Structure 1
């Protein structure tokens, strides 16, 4: 009987993970080894980040303190300027105009992306299986199209002489739009760029929102309808509160993506006409590569990162503040 009890205890210990080396507490095979494992797993990613992101950032920082133009580049000269590049940029009206334009451009695009993406995502949740599959496939194809390829298509669509958009508007009775130059003015150029960016970003929001709605218990919708809630009340009282973390995270990602948008704006009209559609990334490229002021371009790019960090920090602060208020309200209830 004692042998059987010992065997049963040993089997129980093995199942519960309580066997090990003498002197080591059950279930723990070397605390130092377990503690260091996560850092070892993170090491390859940290090294890759340091090589491909950290080192270029350091080089860019050093470059921003130099006066590097074509002359210095050809003669391999290093002329340090200190903070002169930053002083010149921050004292320029052009920089502040471009910064304000970038913030407005980002805000308009993010609002449109989130509003239209939410509507399409809710539509996906209400469609039948076949229609949902068809719309999802169209969204995936739009999302998978390369940026430059999509930009080229939009250039063809809005071409002043052979564009489909002008042809359709002319057929509908707007004959003045037959040869309209969509990249001839600031507002019309921004309109084309905004349509392009919203079209490219909408699938991400719509598909993720639809996936998130599948996690909401259907009992909540049934209870809301039994209480007489309409479509808007169901969204505001059930869907939106349940998906609030999704909206916060997605909005944060879209702010970053739109703020640093470069290929769409540059390929459409290179920041024209008359540099009136330049955003901060285009401004940095134009000054650095276009005008061969590499030190100035490096300084602008770092200031662009600083502005983006300030915007995201403000957004995260609002998000954390709102979450704290909601926790207080729930605790009060």
Structure 2
């Protein structure tokens, strides 16, 4: 006696009440749509805060740059639009282009020094023992965490003309002419002190960033290179540097932005002096706008500063992307 069973249909099983299969109901579509919108909803608070804290002041600055605004207009609550006259006056003057060139050179020198010394200290951290590494990292963090105004004040004391530690040490070492030397009396000496200050404050970020990058390099690569008989320089160029290159690119990009807008160090140290010879663009915008009470002019300089910084960073990113494409 055989029992014949009915074979199921070859098509997909009909498990939905309406007889349709494979397509979700309204509830499933709502769930998938909510899942697709979830990343944008999570980013919404950050985007709103960015627009509120950065976008609105930037818009106000742009509007202010098209106005003739000084103390008289502020007192009378009068808005006097003058079109692009502020931009014409700035761009046709020699002072703006002189300060722009000075700012670019100042940024280039500082960034090169920061990256060289920061990279060397970062590689040193990777080679030190645990105790020495911890001690050096604590010193770096303390230098990094010091407020900018406090650090500038310390450097003013160190390089003071009469009672500065630097002049005293140089005098004891035999440079007696430096006993009463004024570091703020010339353009080069003032820039030298400000550069030392900025480099000293920026090195910890680069060093700690590069040290963290070295911890991501697999030990097997170093062992394989050593077995092949590679020397220290070849190991660095073929193993260490390729892993550090993305971190170097990103860190250099950040340092360009931070140094280019280093307002506090320059202004707090000597107010852009002597004779306004150490002004960089942020200081120049502040002095022209707030110091001379020509707020529309200062706003125009600030907008042009942002555009120049965007152009510099765009050029840097283009060079970096081109190098990465060539390597591929």
User: By the TM > 0.5 criterion, same fold?
Assistant: yes
2:246 is aligned to 245
CA displacement 1:255-294 (0-9 Å, x = unmatched) = 0000011100001101110111000000000000001000
Tell me the distance in 2 between the aligned counterparts of 1:316 and 1:27. 43
The alignment's TM-score, normalised by the length of structure 1, stands at: 0.89
Deviation at 1:322, TM superposition (A): 0.8
CA root-mean-square deviation = 1.7
Is contact 1:287–1:293 with CA below 8 Å preserved after alignment? Answer: yes
Secondary structure of 2:139's aligned partner? helix
Is contact 1:24–1:30 with CA below 8 Å preserved after alignment? Answer: no
Tell me the distance in 2 between the aligned counterparts of 1:234 and 1:181. 47
2:296 is aligned to 295
Tell me the distance in 1 between the aligned counterparts of 2:158 and 2:232. 36
Q: Unpaired segments of 5 or more residues in structure 2?
A: 1-22
How many equivalent pairs are there? 307
Deviation at 1:29, TM superposition (A): 6.0
CA displacement 1:6-37 (0-9 Å, x = unmatched) = xxxxxxxxxxxxxxxx9349987622211222
1:144 is aligned to 145
Tell me the distance in 2 between the aligned counterparts of 1:273 and 1:124. 39
Tell me the distance in 2 between the aligned counterparts of 1:73 and 1:110. 40
2:263 is aligned to 262
1:326 is aligned to 327
Secondary structure of 1:292's aligned partner? coil
Tell me the distance in 1 between the aligned counterparts of 2:26 and 2:249. 44
Evaluate the alpha carbon distance shift between residue 26 and residue 126 of structure 1 in structure 2; reply closer, same or farther with a 3 A threshold: farther
Deviation at 1:226, TM superposition (A): 3.1
1:197 is aligned to 198
Is contact 1:98–1:280 with CA below 8 Å preserved after alignment? Answer: yes
Runs (4 or more) in structure 1 with deviation over 3 Å come to 22-29
Deviation at 1:326, TM superposition (A): 1.0
Is contact 1:70–1:292 with CA below 8 Å preserved after alignment? Answer: yes
Tell me the distance in 1 between the aligned counterparts of 2:192 and 2:200. 12
Deviation at 1:40, TM superposition (A): 1.4
2:6 is aligned to none
Tell me the distance in 2 between the aligned counterparts of 1:63 and 1:319. 35
1:176 is aligned to 177
Secondary structure of 1:311's aligned partner? helix
User: Which structure has the larger Rg over C-alpha atoms?
Assistant: 2
Is contact 1:284–1:298 with CA below 8 Å preserved after alignment? Answer: yes
